[in-house]
Structure 1
């Protein structure tokens, strides 16, 4: 009998972290394997060119957690790296390697995909870039992503076509972030029932860190020039960009309560940049809606 594996691949900024923190650990129908238990294996899947032997080693590590219940693995990095592509694979290669790790003759693999309208997704990812020490203006940052092929990740019609090709048309669940946000329990229950869970487990959703607003992005990007981080190695002051681990960092100050009390307005990309991004994906989104018989929110067009 085939072993059942659910793989939630993201995308980034589609409520994946919320599900990992609040919902998945409390499910009864599957065994959720937390990221830390497969950290190296997931890192390798995301970034490395895998030999057949390496694929076998990853499979064997995963199978150590398999008992009677299906396994659930959730890691948004499997949808592709949202920043530098210097060391990582594109998201199609990652899908192909997931199939290699879990061959069809032995595993019944189900892919969970969360999508989000691309302008808002890329705005949120730019804020994260600044969180982590980035110093480039949004136009320059997005140009880098385009040159590195990262913007190609978000042609969802092509990506879902590849999921169907590798895993089957009835072996994936699509979560549309905007619908999930507006009717959370309804769409969460749809997702959980896909994995055999009959009801939503009790949960508390506490926001860990509030995202930068317009003022915080502007200040953070400029202050980041002073600090040495992986995204800005030329900085003079070494700092851990995490607001939790670091004793001091721009992020820790700018995400403080007084910062948001002083001024908070949701961050948006510059208007011309939004128009440029929108134009890249409108046709892809129309194809997505038509091919998969979806009712996407108007902002996708």
Structure 2
């Protein structure tokens, strides 16, 4: 039954404008049923949301895919819109777990939606790392960016399994070329659209236009919102530096305070509201970014060949965006 409707799955990455798209673009598209699975159950959840919750949090071997597909097909049969758009950055995997569930998620979604179209948005690795690291600080963790990248003695080391090592990634696995190839192997070359986040930042109309053409959205129904207003803006270097110190408080204490006062009363959140990032100087040592230039260059060099291969496959010059 899923083949009777056009299914678009926006898989992420995290930190590539997903919140803006989910808030300002997808819900406004006529003729599109937007499904936005969250990381927690809601009374309004339908069968697609319940499938995604299982993929996010259950052992995949214990998921009854056939039953999920039966329920989803029954739901699709009563959906009036010709296109169903599913968007969850968790589909590409959890960043703090090295995106290790990407392949399992793709396998199971391909079983349920074999004719779907996949939309992947990537971001230059150094800028992606900075943004993902800042999000960790917002979430209450305290670690250095070098430890997050497992960078020691001038080289990138493997992913350390388990959060007792702190959230971390294997920098070698921030290989968007491999992500893109994996989705094309599952759904077919023409069923995947991969775009760089930088295109959205620099030419949002072109970025959205490419997506709309791929999703076969009627030109008269396309939405081009004002992108000057930032959604989910990251903290300044100074606010992030404060978070690194504050977040050293044991997690049970932090959670108790957060549950009582709310996230908005985190010292860094208060600082960010009081002084916008554009007005704040850098935190330590005059650095304006969390990632040092040398470490950023090493990360990009690690992925130079893969980024160029990806650019050739998707028909875009990623070198022009600094990849």
**Do the structures match in fold with TM over 0.5?**
yes
Q: Does 1:43 align with 2:53?
A: yes
Instruction: Provide structure 2 residue ranges, at least 5 long, that are not aligned to the other structure.
Output: 39-44, 152-156, 161-168, 283-287
- Where does residue 293 of structure 2 map in the other structure? 271
Superposed CA offset, 1:110-138 (max 9, x none):
00010111110011100111111111111
Counterpart for residue 147 of structure 1: 159
TM-score of the superposed pair, with normalisation by structure 2: 0.78
Is the 1:241–1:249 Cα contact (8 Å) retained in structure 2?
no
Q: CA RMSD in A?
A: 2.9
- Cα distance between partner residues in 2 of 1:40 and 1:146: 33
Match 1:92 to one of 86, 103, 107 = 103
The offset of 1:30, in angstroms, is: 2.0
Q: 1 or 2, which has the higher helix percentage?
A: 2
1:195–1:299: structure 2 CA closer, same or farther, 3 Å change rule? Answer: closer
| 1:171-227 CA distance string (max 9 Å, x none) | 011221111211101221221232222243264554344311111111110111125
Question: Is structure 2 residue 79 aligned with structure 1 residue 79?
Answer: no
Alpha-carbon shift at residue 271 of structure 1 (Å): 2.6
Residue of structure 2 in register with 1:210 after alignment: 233
User: Hey, what does 1:165 align to over in structure 2?
Assistant: 185
Q: TM-score, normalised by structure 1?
A: 0.84
Partner of 1:220: 243
Question: 1:21 is matched with which residue?
Answer: 23
Deviations 1:205-257 (A, max 9, x none): 543443111111111101111252xxxx5x567233899x4363234323213
Hey, what's the Cα distance between the residues in 1 that align with 2:198 and 2:83?
28
Q: Distance in 2 between matches of 1:289 and 1:208?
A: 27
2:36 maps to 34
Unaligned runs of 5+ in 1: none
Measured in 2, the distance between the counterparts of 1:209 and 1:242 equals: 22
- Quote the residue 1:186 is aligned against: 206
Q: Is the 8 Å Cα contact of residues 155 and 281 (structure 1) preserved in structure 2? A: yes
Q: How many residues align?
A: 289
> Using the alignment, how far apart are the partners of 2:178 and 2:255 within structure 1?
43
In structure 2, the residue matched to 1:120 is 127
Instruction: Give, in angstroms, the shift of residue 15 of structure 1.
Output: 1.3
The answer to whether structure 1 residue 136 and structure 2 residue 123 are counterparts is: no
Are 1:59 and 2:69 counterparts? yes
Decide which of 249, 268, 289 is 2:311's aligned counterpart.
289
**Given the alignment, which residue of 257, 260, 279 partners 1:239?**
257
* Distance verdict in 2 for CA 1:247–1:147, change over 3 Å: closer
Q: In the alignment, is the contact (CA less than 8 A) between 1:78 and 1:91 conserved in 2?
A: yes
Q: Offset of 1:40 from its aligned partner?
A: 4.0
The answer to whether the 8 Å contact 1:29/1:196 transfers is: no
The offset of 1:286, in angstroms, is 1.9
Q: 1:155 to 1:209 in 2, by over 3 A?
A: closer
